[in-house]
Amino acid sequence: EMSSWQKKSHLKTFPNFAEYLGYLFDPNSVLVGPALDFCDYYEFTHDKGGSNLPRKPSCVLPALKHLAGNLMCVGVHLVGNSIFPTTLVGSEVFFSFSLPYK
């Protein structure tokens, strides 16, 4: 006979190979070992709304914010590199400039 925890956490269907590999190679599991049971991982990844697991937040807005920040950094680099080329830093002309200009 199964205990109450076993009844709650047993799998109704057998996971496919990709789902199991996703559980094994989850970055947290790789670093410190499995942090949660497979049944909780399965419910979380399939939006089943597990018993004590939060819903997955949308990742679109944070990804767009990171993309915008990265594009801004690329723009600053391109503009700055056109004004102050990196080849200038190692040249003799660079050493003749005053300290504030450097």
**Long-range contact pairs involving 56-64 (C-beta distance under 8 Å, separation at least 24):** none
Task: Report the C-alpha gap between 61 and 20 in whole angstroms.
Answer: 29
Q: Which two tokens stand for residue 24?
A: 């094994």
Mean pLDDT of the residues in the chain: 83
Whether 2 contacts 10, CB under 8 Å: yes
pLDDT means over runs of 10, the chain (102 residues): 84 87 85 82 72 68 93 94 82 85 76
Other residues' Cβ atoms within 10 Å of the Cβ of residue 58: 8
What three-state secondary structure class fits 32? helix
String of b and e for 20-46 (b: at least 16 CB within 10 Å)? eeebeeeeeeeeeeeeeeebbbbbbee
What integer pLDDT is reported at residue 52 of this predicted model? 60
pTM assigned to the model: 0.43
